[in-house]
């Protein structure tokens, strides 16, 4: 499965809806968690807009007025839900992975700003971790950092980090190294940066997917970067052979390519022949372009030098 998490600071803007749907489609997400929906009441009317036309299931924690709110959407052909736990600051979806039958608990978290309240949330999540069997993923906005290197131009409180790290240790959770960006949150003026969003997984989850990757994606409509956990290794095939249009603008380039195509010979399957042919032509043309440009630059430098000499003697 691929898991996408994003704090949206409200879902009323249609740009945000389209953005999340685009991320879901582009990265093949099977589970999408949205924090800070700021929707109090039924959100059914807009869930499919985040997901698209494919089959889905969802659950939510309503916002308290215009504060908070968590939405989780997933593909029921991949994850079969068996239970749910709701709290103002987290939403836990329990179920089975249809491919393997393994039990998985996914906790989408929107932690409170108050550090004392966060410690109560860590204690409750630890109880759930110890009481619900199966693998675990905790994702979302934890509103805490683990060390001073996860803050820039903002205050680091070692006591808060100590409680957070103690919770992670007691729950026996691990964290994949995050790529893409060092921080996941920036203040409105862009001056303060923090890593508040992350994925924490149980040891058995990491043992099953040791090569999974976590990446922080670009943020266009929120102050938080979306984060993606991918356990599906996508193979897009061989890198296509590319040539620059500027190469063909050099006089004689098209004629040289024609000569290369006529002189090429290969004994083997047609598809392999085409692959080898394109690479061979590209390599030869690249060398030809390099030599041509060197010659053009020499000529230009000679003419420039001559012009400078004329200006000196005039």
Helix and strand totals (H; E) in the chain: 8, 16
- DSSP lists the bridge partners of residue 142 as none
pTM: 0.73
CB-side exposure of 276: number of CA atoms within 13 Å?
A: 10
Q: pLDDT tens track of the chain, all 314 residues?
A: 899 999 988 887 788 888 899 999 989 999 999 999 988 777 777 888 899 888 999 999 998 877 889 999 999 999 999 999 999 999 999 999 998 899 999 999 999 999 999 999 999 999 999 999 999 999 999 999 999 999 999 899 999 999 999 999 999 999 999 998 899 999 877 789 999 999 999 999 999 999 999 999 988 788 899 999 999 755 444 555 566 677 777 888 888 888 888 887 766 666 667 777 787 888 888 888 888 777 766 765 676 666 666 555 54
d(CA 52, CA 292): 51
CB–CB of 66/41 below 8 Å?
Answer: no
Query: CA–CA separation, 146 vs 165, rounded Å?
Result: 6
CA 284 to chain centre: 37
């Amino acid at each position: 499965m691929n898991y996408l998490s994003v704090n949206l600071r409200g879902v009323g803007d249609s740009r945000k809806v389209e953005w999340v749907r685009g991320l879901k489609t582009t990265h093949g997400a099977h589970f999408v968690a949205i924090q800070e929906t700021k929707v109090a009441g039924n959100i059914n009317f807009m869930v499919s807009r985040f997901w698209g036309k494919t089959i889905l299931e969802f659950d939510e924690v309503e916002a308290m007025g215009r504060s908070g709110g968590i939405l989780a959407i997933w593909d029921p052909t991949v994850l079969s839900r068996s239970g749910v736990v709701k709290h103002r600051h987290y939403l836990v979806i329990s179920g089975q992975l249809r491919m393997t039958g393994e039990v998985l608990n996914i906790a989408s978290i929107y932690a409170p700003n108050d550090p004392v309240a966060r410690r109560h949330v860590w204690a409750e999540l630890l109880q759930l971790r110890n009481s619900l069997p199966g693998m675990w993923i905790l994702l979302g906005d934890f509103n805490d950092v683990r060390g001073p290197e996860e803050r820039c131009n903002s205050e680091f409180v070692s006591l808060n980090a100590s409680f957070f790290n103690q919770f992670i240790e007691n729950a026996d959770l691990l964290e994949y190294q995050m790529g893409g960006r060092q921080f996941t949150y920036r203040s409105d003026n862009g001056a303060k940066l923090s890593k508040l969003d992350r994925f924490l997984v149980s040891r058995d989850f990491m043992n099953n997917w040791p090569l999974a990757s976590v990446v922080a994606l670009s943020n266009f409509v929120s102050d938080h970067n979306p984060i993606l956990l991918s356990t599906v290794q996508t193979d897009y095939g061989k890198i296509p052979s590319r040539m620059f249009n500027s190469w063909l603008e050099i006089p004689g380039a098209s004629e040289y390519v024609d000569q290369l195509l006529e002189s090429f010979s290969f004994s083997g399957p047609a598809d392999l022949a085409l692959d080898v042919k394109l690479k061979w032509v590209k390599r030869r043309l690249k060398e030809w372009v390099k030599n041509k440009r060197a010659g053009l630059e020499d000529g230009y430098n000679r003419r420039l030098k001559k012009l400078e000499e004329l200006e000196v003697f005039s």
